[in-house]
Amino acid sequence: MADVLPLVEARLRSALGDPDARAAVTFLGTDRIEVLRFTDGDVVRYATLGMSAQPMSDPTAVLADPVKGPRAELVISVRGGLADTDKVLRPLAMLAASPQVEGVVVAPGASLDVGEPLWPGAPFTSVLVAEPGGLVEDLELDEPLDPVHFLPLLPMTPNEAAWKRVHGAQALQERWLTNGTDLRDPSRKSVPLE
């Protein structure tokens, strides 16, 4: 079975260019997760590398399938120079390790919460997992492996996260769109939820 991670990194590089920084985090009992930083003008993107090494498995399964199952990496985009967003490294690596640690399957529409600000002074402690395929195309792997999806993460304020739990991900995204919310603003306020 071919190692998936070199293919994943090649796909990230082809979509986002060469990373200008990278760091690795290892949590007890998990594989190493790297976070790569890509700068494109005033936008900084952070992408995980390592989450897709193993497929995510159904937490109710007795045994995890070592081959079949969804694979993903996480990507978050913010405007650079407005906050110390490089500190998102550890929270992002924690989210990428969550399938191994907690047995969760990360999928579009899900909320992921790290329980602390994503970076110092950030008004966000959680993210909404958006649909893949926009910024970085899915990476098809040889059968029987599932493709790797590159899931965009959209930072949510606590109020937005609570509103999303009641009304759903689609309703929150529509609210952001209607209000012209700049989801890349690292210090933006909560969208009006009335």
CA 14 to chain centre: 18
pLDDT above 50 for 1: no
* pLDDT tens-digit readout, 39-63: 999 999 999 999 999 899 876 666 6
Q: How confident is the model at residue 2 (pLDDT cuts 50, 70, 90)?
A: low
* pLDDT tens-digit readout, 133-181: 889 999 999 988 999 999 999 999 999 999 999 999 999 999 999 999 9
Contacts of 36 (CB under 8 A, 6+ apart): 9, 12, 19, 21, 22, 46, 47, 48, 49
Q: What angle do CA 27, 32, 133 make, to 5 degrees?
A: 115
pTM: 0.93
pLDDT above 80 for 64: no
pLDDT of residue 22: 93
Residue 166 CA to residue 148 CA, distance in Å, equals 30
Q: Which amino acid is at 24?
A: A
pLDDT of residue 153: 98
Residue 27 CA to residue 167 CA, distance in Å, equals 34
pLDDT of residue 29: 74
Residue 147 CA to residue 137 CA, distance in Å, equals 10
pLDDT above 80 for 123: yes
Residue 180 CA to residue 16 CA, distance in Å, equals 25
* pLDDT tens-digit readout, 19-39: 999 999 888 777 889 999 999
